[in-house]
Structure 1
Amino acid sequence: MARAPETLYDPRNGDLSLKVTDWTLALDAEAPTRTNYFTIYWVRSGSGTFWADSGSYPFTAPALLFFVPYQYVRFAPTGPVEGVGVQFHANFLCIETYHEEVGCNGVLFNDLYGAPVVGLDGRHDREVGDLIGHIRRELTEGGLAHAEALLSYLKVFLIRATRLKRDQQGAAREAPAGRFPPDLTALRDLIETHYRKWHAPAEYAEALQADPKGLGKAVKAHLGKTLTELIRDRILKHAKWDLLHTLKPVKQVAHELGYTDELYFSRLFKRATGHSPAFFREYETAIRGGKNLSMPLPLPSIPLPPSDAQNIRSPAKES
């Protein structure tokens, strides 16, 4: 797998913590850059398949697609695709901090057991267009309470999308063809309980008294990824949280996730994010000014610049 090109948000370079751009995708398009923004693509026309890390998912316009920071993303469109990209960094809105208020963490973003896609009907497609239009105008025109207005529009956008996805998940569970098999429901519960110690698919198959190959096929059919990839994604979700929000040494994070070899864990993390655990923590801590950590930590030596009018500064509490 070729390494994706990379563009990381850095306020020290004057980068905006929230931006909206037109998005097009041709048949021969390269993969989008790996970024540390939360990214939403509003697909207005076109269809195809996309990969979010190892998971593959179909999409057809109109739809919303959701991607987390440092994720490897690529597309295989069936024809030209057009839409709009909305990107925001945790400096603007940290969805983990606002989980209860916005509710999108684990539904739109970081949903290991579902597709990061929300289909849109005509009414919801128009509503998405209106909200993105409000954000674009506010970014262009500014004015009184500029950051607060942008934050409000983005929150409404995420809340509407979260409600819509939950409705769609509920409808899918009611349809016989879309029901989550009992084995996969039990598998999800086992992974959430044992991912720190059980890293091999065979351990889960044994606990479920299931045929390993059959279980693997069911995971692939319903979740778009292999069981090995699903377990790995859960481990990495935990690792990212610890590295961002605690002062635990990398060796301790690895050990608590069942890895006695810190170097092996670091290679696993770098394959998934493009960076070592140490860089991931140090870089994000620097650009967030240390507000992501649960206790004080000597920050990297490169200071953040004073507040700049070009940078969107949000009143939101950062993670």
Structure 2
Amino acid sequence: MTDRNGPGDLYDPRNGDEPIRLGRWEIDGEPSEPARTNEFAIYLVESGSGIFWADASTFPFGPGSLLCFVPYQHLRFVPEGRVRGQVVRFHANFLCVETFHAEVGCSGALFNDPYGPPSVELDDATKAEVAGLLDRLRREDARRDLAYGEAMLALLKVVLILATRIKASRAGACGPDAATAARHPILAELRALIEEHYRTIHSPAEYAKRLHVTPKTLGRLVREHFGTTPTDLIRSRILIHAKWQLLHTLKPVKEVAREVGFGDELYFSRLFKKATGYSPTFFRAFETEIRGGSNLSMSSAEAPILPPAESPDT
């Protein structure tokens, strides 16, 4: 698979782009930064190890890691030697993760969870099963027999369901809050506070005060267990909300900025562009146009980041 470069990195069906792309993933010992795209991405690590950055968060990966990334995300891989694997990229026009969330809760387990690593560690049997499903996806894509698109969609859903089940089972029956608390009790309190106040409180020092710890202690805990800083953790939650509102409502950018606590629309726009590579205005207009407005038919409620309860202007 050859990555597209420059503005053309964005999937655009008007250019004949396919809504799903499959291929091999190889890094020969040097740091790698895949082109930023507007597609979801799933990387299956077959061999090799290293660390990766997803925006400002950093995590390790190794053989059997399934890495799950969201559109417009900045990625960087630093391998320890040679890394080999498979990658699938798909746009919401192929599978809308937010809609699929209602079925299996993958938005929050695999994608759009600022409180956990965007990865799942597969055992040997499941790794072989996922690799087999990806092979079948490639064969369907190559042959293009009758209803191949429906077959590919079904196969991709099975991959996501398997990964979601594994991650949910490891979170335990008590859910993600208990899993967060298991890492450190303060982190569960922090998660609850951020979910309640991210639209009005942006200061890590204020969260530290409410948790009765020093900002330095909070920073250390967040870095050790979430792979990021308190500032970037709060910012990630803000951006999940902002992207949802920009995609699924017609609220003016100024109103979306106010919703997440920014009275200065220009400051919010700079923050959004730094995080996604594009301005809020372009992000909304471009995605709405290439989706034919289908994104606006969805609920305008907050972006779902938790599993279900059962279980260019550039």
1:179 corresponds to: 182
What value does the CA root-mean-square deviation take over the aligned residues?
Answer: 2.1
SS of equivalent to 1:105: helix
Q: Distance in 1 between matches of 2:63 and 2:123?
A: 9
Q: Distance in 2 between matches of 1:247 and 1:197?
A: 22
Give 1:105 deviation, angstroms: 0.6
Q: Does 1:76 align with 2:109?
A: no
Asked if 2 retains the 8 angstrom alpha-carbon contact of 1:95 and 1:102, the reply is no
Residues 62 and 213 from structure 1, CA distance in 2 versus in 1: closer, same or farther, beyond 3 angstroms? same
Structure 1 regions of 5+ residues with no counterpart? 296-319
Asked if 2 retains the 8 angstrom alpha-carbon contact of 1:44 and 1:83, the reply is yes
SS of equivalent to 1:75: strand
1:138 corresponds to: 140
Asked if 2 retains the 8 angstrom alpha-carbon contact of 1:37 and 1:68, the reply is yes
Q: Distance in 2 between matches of 1:104 and 1:177?
A: 18
Give 1:14 deviation, angstroms: 0.8
Q: Distance in 2 between matches of 1:168 and 1:191?
A: 23
Give 1:148 deviation, angstroms: 1.5
Structure 2 regions of 5+ residues with no counterpart? 299-314
Give 1:147 deviation, angstroms: 1.8
> 1:278-289, aligned counterparts within 5 Å?
278-289=281-292
Asked if 2 retains the 8 angstrom alpha-carbon contact of 1:5 and 1:34, the reply is no
Larger RCO, structure (CA 8 Å, separation 6 or more):
1
Higher helix share: 2
Q: Does 1:194 align with 2:197?
A: yes
Q: Distance in 1 between matches of 2:48 and 2:172?
A: 26
2:250 corresponds to: 247
Q: Which amino acid aligns with 1:279?
A: F
Q: Which amino acid aligns with 1:138?
A: E
Q: Which amino acid aligns with 1:269?
A: F
Q: Distance in 1 between matches of 2:103 and 2:46?
A: 28
SS of equivalent to 1:155: helix
The match for 2:41 among 33, 36, 39 is 39
Across the two proteins, how many residue pairs are aligned to each other? 291
2:50 corresponds to: 48
SS of equivalent to 2:255: helix
2:265 corresponds to: 262
Q: Which amino acid aligns with 1:134?
A: R
Residues 198 and 177 from structure 1, CA distance in 2 versus in 1: closer, same or farther, beyond 3 angstroms? closer
Asked if 1 retains the 8 angstrom alpha-carbon contact of 2:181 and 2:188, the reply is no
Asked if 1 retains the 8 angstrom alpha-carbon contact of 2:52 and 2:77, the reply is yes
Decide which moves more: 143-152 or 239-248: 143-152
The match for 1:205 among 203, 208, 216 is 208
Percent identity between the two aligned chains = 57
Asked if 2 retains the 8 angstrom alpha-carbon contact of 1:64 and 1:119, the reply is yes
1:305 corresponds to: none
Q: Distance in 2 between matches of 1:231 and 1:23?
A: 31
TM-score by length of 2: 0.88
Asked if 1 retains the 8 angstrom alpha-carbon contact of 2:199 and 2:238, the reply is yes
1:302 corresponds to: none
SS of equivalent to 2:142: helix
SS of equivalent to 2:99: coil
SS of equivalent to 2:217: helix
Give 1:72 deviation, angstroms: 0.3
Q: Distance in 2 between matches of 1:122 and 1:220?
A: 29
SS of equivalent to 1:33: coil
Give 1:100 deviation, angstroms: 2.0
TM-superposition CA deviations, 1:78-103 (whole Å, max 9, x none): 11111111011000110101212132
Give 1:30 deviation, angstroms: 3.4
Give 1:263 deviation, angstroms: 0.2
Give 1:121 deviation, angstroms: 1.5
TM-score by length of 1: 0.87
Q: Distance in 2 between matches of 1:113 and 1:158?
A: 19
Asked if 2 retains the 8 angstrom alpha-carbon contact of 1:102 and 1:155, the reply is no
Give 1:202 deviation, angstroms: 1.1
